[in-house]
Amino acid sequence: MDLNATAVLVTGAASGLGAATAAHLAARGATVYGLDLKKAIDSAEPSPDGVTLIPADVTDEESVRAAVATAAAGLQPLRMAVNCAGIAPAARILSRSGPHDLGLFDTVLKVNLLGSFNVMRLAAEEIARTEPDAHGQRGVVVNTASIAAFEGQVGQIAYAASKAGVAGMTIAAARDLAQYGIRVVTIAPGIVDTPMMAGFSDEIRASLAESVTFPHRLADPAEFARLVGVVAEHDYLNGETIRMDGALRMAPR
């Protein structure tokens, strides 16, 4: 799929993986519509050329539907959606304070899993209306899981469950959307140097980097963004979850 002269929807676009992805795709010629919460957009750095930030909650049907409609109404056809929005609070199933808060578990699944599904289904509806290329392709959806989907650590029960759900949707979604010429691919990153990591000490960051098999460093958000670009342009990638983790296999803690 050619990114040039294509409209793309990116969630979580005000920071981290989403911001890097939006900037990269815009630099490749795409017209990017970035979704994020209003408070995140208000505190974000100025958007690069080609990126328009739209306030929207991925768990809310009407705000996502409106954002998708905005992206689809532009001069370029909407052919891609990238789900980067997510949260990662930590809590154990049972701790000294009692059992895991049910509301917290529900919130994590709602943002990470239901939010990804909500954006995917509504974006797919619009992508399916575009003209197919010579091979019948209309577009692609890229979702973001995590290696926690496969090796969740202590305190990651909600996050791991939500990301395992994202990975689990991949082949089913690819099969569901094949008749419309829409591919679905998931990326499962390891430890990425996002704003979420900024609160950790240099000692902890160094320890995390050393745990990566090779290279011994944290991933850069730009590397995730480049992989999204590869997925977009590699038309035979479909129904797959790709680990981007430096061969890291997470220990229990």
Which are the catalytic amino acids? 159
Q: What are phi and psi of 35, to 5 degrees?
A: -100, 140
How far, in Å, CA of 201 to CA of 187, rounded?
27
Q: H-type helices in 77-219, by residue range?
A: 102-109, 115-127, 157-177, 202-211
How far, in Å, CA of 196 to CA of 203, rounded?
16
How far, in Å, CA of 159 to CA of 99, rounded?
16
DSSP 56: -
DSSP 152: P
